[in-house]
Amino acid sequence: MKKLALLVVLLVIVGGAAFLYYPRGASLSSAVAATLAILNTDITAQRGGTGDFATALDGELFASGDVVKSSENGRAVLTFFDGSTLTVETGSMVKVTTLNRLDTGGIQLTIEQTLGRSWASVSKLKTADSKFEIKTPTSTATVRGTAFETIVVRRPDGGVTVTYKTDDGNVLVTADAGGQTSVTANTQVTIDQNQPAPNASTPTPPGPGLRLTAAAGLGFAVMSPTGATCGSFGNRAEIRGCLVNGNVVTIREPVAGRYALLTTAAGALPNATLRVEALRGTAVESTQTFTRNFAAGDLVRGAFAYGAGTPLSVGAFEQAELVTSVCGAFGTGRIFSGGTLQERADLLSAFGNTNHSADVAFIATQAELNSEVARQLAASPGLPVQGAIVTVDPGGLHFSAQVSTPLGSFTAGGDASLGQVGGRLTVRVRNLSAGPVPAAVLDQVRSQIESTVLSVTGSVNLTVRQVALRNGCFAVLGATR
């Protein structure tokens, strides 16, 4: 990790927004695409619907023709430019058949799902010509703002059965063999291959659930054991079966395990509470209440365990602690977020030498990255770079700088996706540009950056499981070797 600061500076100098990483013939940005967030490892992607599947990274962009596939251990979320999300569960495959940003500001999106489960949280469509639909081997689901689950099962006899479960809004399901069914909130419909749609949907059987209720003015987000997040803070609804209604969040059929919790308040809140209830149908079988005094701007990290036995259970809250960024809230085990970037990198290395197979999280904020870049540039007066800026968001790390050369001064900039390949932290640079520098040269620079990062991170005593990108920060989550 000794070269951490140097790598940051190197990325800033050669970043970009015009050189094509994706072989499309035009640049791609999150304003017209879908951004990938990987919740669990083993997510692969195919570009343009052809060629081999390759390991996908956090922050990569997807457009028409691209395919996302999850293994039996993989989960991911696609966030579209209008704010709608599609959570891709384990053992699933989805294709972005069509993704267009309309001149009217709307979206036209068609997803083809051939296997597994997905959870769609669809923003209310802005224009009459907007469209959000999911095509399966038996039918098509069309919505204008709703939350629903799509389950595609391939039977042993080779046939396909598809079930749609609507949690909010209305889903219009049209069977390939004819007929339509309106699937309203808390109902479902199942359509077999070559069979028409039934006349009506049926009620979704009552089952276990979680309900989180926060005091007025208290924002919160909860991360499930699957890595998906849902809550009023950040306006995320990635967890399958999760609905946000003001200060109340409900989760249908939650998985058992540890739920990380982030709470925050814009203003001072004395004795603010957050109540968590385990439900079976409408009956409450267990409850816990978290109470704390909040100062304005506090970010508080906590967690609780949910048990799916009989009765359902909510465990006592873990001891809460203040964190400095959203990214520090959802790590497990030892959190490395204090001191300079280099100091915490050295602490992580030392910790790994004496603590094996321990959960750890390395946190870096946008402000810290920019501070380190400024320090490195000040320490290198001969370097012809000024105004270097790093920004971090779910679309990755973005870089820009003014570079002086014998050919003149120009702006260099670029983007980078982060993730793990084989348990090693990996950077994939895209959209490089540097004034008059030819694309072929930039391509060589990109390859050099990516190989250098791998050589450095490969020497770190850390197996990476996930990289979480948020606005203003990122977290590298994993375990020491």
Whether residues 212 and 192 share a domain: the answer is no
- State the pLDDT at residue 195: 97
User: What's the DSSP call for residue 253?
Assistant: S
Confidence of residue 6 (pLDDT cuts 50, 70, 90): very low
Axis-axis angle for helices 439-457, 4-14 (nearest 10): 170
Residues 457, 428: contact at Cβ < 8 Å?
A: no
In angstroms, how far is CA 16 from the centroid of its own chain? 23
State how far the Cα of 387 lies from the Cα of 441, in Å rounded to an integer.
23
Q: How many CA atoms lie within 13 A of 106 on its CB side?
A: 14
Residue 15 within a domain: no
Whether residues 377 and 396 share a domain: the answer is yes
State how far the Cα of 472 lies from the Cα of 325, in Å rounded to an integer.
8
- State the pLDDT at residue 127: 87
Please confirm whether the linkage preceding 311 is cis (ω < 30° from 0).
Answer: yes
Helix, strand and coil in the chain, % to nearest 5: 15, 50, 35
Whether residues 316 and 356 share a domain: the answer is no
Whether residues 175 and 236 share a domain: the answer is no
- Of 241, 182, 252, 172, the closest CA to residue 210 belongs to 252
State how far the Cα of 335 lies from the Cα of 432, in Å rounded to an integer.
33
Whether residues 155 and 127 share a domain: the answer is yes
- State the pLDDT at residue 1: 42
Whether residues 304 and 448 share a domain: the answer is no
For 152-173, how does the pLDDT look when each residue is reduced to its tens digit (9 = 90+)? 999 999 999 999 999 999 999 9
Confidence of residue 456 (pLDDT cuts 50, 70, 90): low
Indicate whether 27 pLDDT > 60.
no
State how far the Cα of 269 lies from the Cα of 461, in Å rounded to an integer.
42
Q: 439 — alpha (psi -120 to 50), left (phi > 0) or beta?
A: alpha
Task: Output the CA torsion sign for 452, 455, 459, 460.
Answer: positive
Helices (H) and strands (E) in the chain, counts: 4, 37
Residue 283 within a domain: yes
Residue 401 within a domain: yes
406 vs 241, higher pLDDT: 241
Residue 12 within a domain: no
Whether residues 99 and 163 share a domain: the answer is yes
Q: Is the pTM of this model over 0.85?
A: yes
Whole-number average pLDDT of the chain: 88
CB 109: neighbour CB atoms within 10 A?
A: 27
Whether residues 40 and 167 share a domain: the answer is yes
Whether residues 34 and 134 share a domain: the answer is yes
Instruction: For residue 373, give the H/E element and its range.
Output: helix 366-378
Question: Last residue of a domain, which of 303, 330, 357?
Answer: 330
Whether residues 298 and 430 share a domain: the answer is no
Write b or e for each residue in 274-287: b if 16 or more Cβ atoms lie within 10 A of its Cβ, otherwise e: bbbbbbeeeeebbe
For 230-253, how does the pLDDT look when each residue is reduced to its tens digit (9 = 90+)? 999 988 899 999 999 999 999 999
Residue 335 within a domain: no
For 340-362, how does the pLDDT look when each residue is reduced to its tens digit (9 = 90+)? 888 888 898 889 989 999 999 99
- Of 339, 157, 286, 302, the closest CA to residue 218 belongs to 302
Whether residues 58 and 107 share a domain: the answer is yes
Contacts with 233 (C-beta within 8 Å, 6 or more apart), sequence order: 219, 220, 221, 262, 263, 264
Residue 6 within a domain: no
pLDDT more than 70, % of the chain: 92
- Of 208, 240, 236, the closest CA to residue 225 belongs to 240
Question: Last residue of a domain, which of 172, 203, 234?
Answer: 203
Question: Last residue of a domain, which of 168, 203, 238?
Answer: 203
* Cα Dmax for the chain: 75
Q: In the chain, how many domains are there?
A: 3
Residues 274, 220: contact at Cβ < 8 Å?
A: yes
Residues 428, 39: contact at Cβ < 8 Å?
A: no
- Of 9, 104, 94, the closest CA to residue 45 belongs to 94
Residue 280 within a domain: yes
Domain region containing 128: 29-203
pLDDT more than 90, % of the chain: 62
- State the pLDDT at residue 443: 78
Instruction: For residue 294, give the H/E element and its range.
Output: strand 283-294
Instruction: For residue 364, give the H/E element and its range.
Output: strand 359-365
Residues 48, 25: contact at Cβ < 8 Å?
A: no
For 202-215, how does the pLDDT look when each residue is reduced to its tens digit (9 = 90+)? 999 999 999 999 99
Whether residues 57 and 133 share a domain: the answer is yes
- State the pLDDT at residue 251: 98
